[in-house]
Amino acid sequence: MMDKAELKWTLNHIPKTDDLAVKNMSVEEMRRAGSFHRSFPQYSVTPLTRLSNLAEYLGLKRLYVKDESYRFGLNAFKVLGGSYAIARHIAKELGKDVSEVPYSVLTSDELREKFGQATFFTATDGNHGRGVAWAANKLGQKCVVRTPKGTTRTRLQNIAKENAEVTIEDLNYDDCVRMAAKEAENTPRGIMVQDTAWEGYEEIPTWIMQGYGTLATEADSQLEEDGCRPTHIFIQAGVGSLAGAVIGYFSNRYKENPPVMVVAEAGAADCLYRSAVQADGNRVDVTGDMLTIMAGLACGEANTVSWDILKNHADAFVSCPDWVSANGTRIYGAPLKGDERVISGESGSVTMGLVHALMTKPEYKELKEALKLGPDSEVLLVSSEGDTDPDRYLEIAWEGLCGTDKQPFADL
């Protein structure tokens, strides 16, 4: 019998910088994105589910989860970023503000005549590519998507249904990003729409992060309606775009006294955690195959825009083995009596598994105390995807799958 892999964590001791990127995640900017998304006929506010009985069981005051499985019928939050970035690009090319190009304008014959057709390229582990493909398809644009090895046929087929050209490459995620970027550069009217940033490519990733702000502004309003001011926010990260957007928003929202904010990563792709351990402000990349059940978090190179926000505003970084996510999926799917069920996929559930581990396992008492988690804590989580890969979801929820090596939980 193998020893179960442990959580690894570090508090944030990185020297503060000029903190220039956080202003792009202001309340005003995020609300602009929300106004754009509300122009879509498919738009509705996703649920904020309060798990009162689980909170009591864990010893917390309140526990909420923003359930993104309902987003635009795509079972994940990613479409928020891709759609907003495409709209911002089209608006910029036409010399307009994004407020002048709502859904009705973007899908009009008049806009097609003025703008024509571009090809939007992206790389993805699944949800981002599907979101970009969906938005491009709805807006009459072309889309090319490259996915890394290990991508399931279900994820590939979901993207292909949106009239995108999509392939599975014998490359990891970060190399797929480089491939797609080169193709976009060599294609007439080719545009890279990627949810990560690097030197020289930061405008579109910033727009994508602002698009993710729609879920943050919704959650903020929903919490306020329930009389809650969150004391803790746990947010998952691949390249860090969602984490940077959420932490950036709440850092602006509560400038004087922000919540305690924690970043959770897949242990096989924990570039942010490793960067935080190094603690000199520079990024540390993770290379190789990065095998993890958390496919959407299998990214080894941090978004430069997000990293600037996280190193200034995140309180802790946690590297999570696969069992943390698998446990989170099962907790959501088998709620305590009286709580609502949440269908949360492997990249959406890691923060639930983390909070459960901190509140129930004595070996993580030091981190729990460092974060001041206890009976006065009001905690916000984001379930960023539903069962986007239904077969994998059932392997975890029904068969006890706990990692990419197919070992059930009982064998670890």
Residues known to be catalytic: 78, 125
Helices and strands: H and E segment counts in the chain: 16, 11
Distance CA 267, CA 216 (A): 25
For residue 125, the SS3 value is coil
Distance CA 35, CA 284 (A): 36
13-20 contacts: CB < 8 A, separation 24 or more? Answer: 13/276, 13/279, 14/275, 14/276, 14/279, 14/280, 14/281, 14/311, 14/312, 15/279, 15/280, 15/281, 16/311, 16/312, 17/281, 17/308, 17/311, 17/312, 19/308, 19/309, 19/312, 20/308
Distance CA 309, CA 244 (A): 6
Residue 182's contacts (CB-CB under 8 Å, 6 or more residues apart) are: none
Residue 322 Cα distances to 315, 328, 361, angstroms: 22, 10, 16
